[in-house]
Amino acid sequence: MIFVDACFGKPTPYTPVWMMRQAGRYLPEYMKVRAQAGDFLSLCKNPAKACEVTLQPVDILGVDAAILFSDILVVPLEMGMKLQFLKGEGPVFSEPIKNQQDLDKLSVEKAVEGLEYVYETIKLIRGKLAADKALIGFCGAPWTLATYMIEGQGTKTYALVKKLIYSNPQFMHALLKKVTEVLKLYMERQIQSGANVVMIFDSWASALEESAYFEFSWSYMKEISSYLKAKFPDVPVILFPKGISGYLDKIDGDFDVFGVDWSTPMELAKEKLGDKYILQGNMEPTRLYNKDAIDEGIEHIVNVMKNERHIFNLGHGILPDIPVEHAKYFIKQVQKLTKK
């Protein structure tokens, strides 16, 4: 598989390319299946339909890897939390975690078994996906999940969760350790079900100052990746912490690919990490609104990376109102311009 080869720094005929959120709302075909499924969570829990939308961008755009259609928050949901996706508000936990008693109610074993619909989806996808296309499994980082679990929903200030970090770090670590145990087993089961690559998204990495980031987030991401690499050395692990360009000097760990977000200059990522890890990224997603901007973005990254040790991607998820034709153009241009 060209994508797996690239994750290990092996020669590839061109730089493989895929997009975060490539199975999503910008595709009319996705919206049709979503309407049939009912709501977003019902779609996540329906293996046949989740399989269908996972495969759509592979067939429509020609990307080099499929990424499992799911959501990072199914983990706290199956641990025992009450989750709803509300229109205009996004995900909401009606009873956020406030204390040790709340945490004690959450179950590692219940979550790992309750996520069976994800494993079933992976088996279906792997059975239908072309043999040369990789399937990416994923999870959210413990810190990002803990943020939702404590705040109850998305936040701009992170006041509740950061208050815990500085006023009750022992409790914060207890929560992070419990989530980490679930994620180790969850990712293990994803690989056993057929995922060829796994990726950990730390969407809220930039919320923390440097010392707090490495204590309360990066250390747990490293723990998960080390666990997986010890068990599955032939399965690449991608880590994607968003918005920590100032901390790149201290990045280390047993993983294969570092996801570069769009706010981090590719030159900086290459200078700091290019010798240690394969880099993935990092075109600004809004460049997909204009073909000239797409060309400029691709050309810049190609000139920086010079087709070496790189996987092409956006620096965050594709937006819902991007024209499908522009997404196709981006994929085809990358594959054409990076041909070796």
Instruction: Specify whether the CB–CB gap between 278 and 6 falls below 8 A.
Output: yes
**Residue given tokens 């207890």 in the structure block:** 174
Neighbouring residues of 95: CB distance < 8 A, sequence distance ≥ 6: 81, 82, 102
Give the three-class secondary structure for 261: coil
Residue with the two structure tokens 């901390």: 247
Using left for φ > 0, alpha for ψ between -120 and 50, and beta otherwise, residue 138 falls in beta
- Is residue 303 predicted with pLDDT exceeding 90? yes
Tally of CB atoms within 10 A around 174: 14
**Angle at which helices 324-337 and 47-61 pack, to 10 degrees?**
60
Kindly report the three-state secondary structure assignment for every residue of 278-301.
EEEEEECHHHHHCHHHHHHHHHHH
How far apart are alpha carbons 201 and 156 in whole angstroms? Answer: 18
Is 249 among the residues known to form the active site?
Answer: no
Helix (H, G, I), strand (E, B) or coil at 313: strand
Query: What is the mean predicted confidence (pLDDT) over 180-206?
Result: 98
> Which 3 state secondary structure label does DSSP give 277?
coil
Q: Is the pLDDT of residue 307 over 90?
A: no
Of the listed 5, 14, 71, 295, which one is catalytic? 71
pLDDT at residue 335 in the model: 97
Give the Cα separation of 323 and 177 in Å (integer).
Answer: 41
Q: What pLDDT, in 10s, does the model give residues 217-248?
A: 999 999 999 999 999 999 999 999 999 999 99
Q: Please answer whether residues 70 and 76 qualify as being in contact, where contact means their C-beta atoms are separated by less than 8 angstroms.
A: no
Catalytic residue among 5, 14, 25, 254: 25
If you search the block for the tokens 């700091």, which residue do you land on? 272
Can you tell me the mean pLDDT for 124-133?
98
Q: How far apart are CA 8 and CA 3, in angstroms?
A: 9
Domains plus CATH for the chain? 2-337 (3.20.20.210)
Which runs of E-coded beta strand occur in the chain?
65-67, 83-86, 90-93, 134-140, 197-202, 237-241, 257-260, 278-283, 310-314
Average pLDDT of the segment spanning 8-27: 97
Q: Which of 240, 274, 313 is nearest to 17 (CA)?
A: 313
**Which of 21, 126, 189, 287 is flagged as catalytic?**
21
Q: If we measure between CA atoms, which residue out of 272, 340, 318 comes closest to residue 63?
A: 318
Question: Mean pLDDT, the chain, as a whole number?
Answer: 97
What's the pLDDT score for residue 308?
A: 86
What is the per-residue pLDDT for 31?
A: 96
Q: Which of 26, 30, 148, 220 is catalytic?
A: 148
Q: Tens digits of per-residue pLDDT, 249-299?
A: 999 999 999 999 999 999 999 999 999 999 999 999 999 999 999 999 999
Q: What is the pLDDT of residues 102-126, one digit of tens each?
A: 999 999 999 999 999 999 999 999 9
pTM of the model: 0.98
Chain segment 39-90, per-residue pLDDT in tens = 999 999 999 999 999 999 999 999 999 999 999 999 999 999 999 998 878 8
Q: Give yes or no: 34 in active site.
A: yes
126 is catalytic: no
Ramachandran quadrant class, 229 (left: phi over 0; alpha: psi -120 to 50; beta: rest): alpha
* Average of per-residue pLDDT across 181-206: 98
Q: Does the pLDDT of residue 38 top 90, yes or no?
A: no
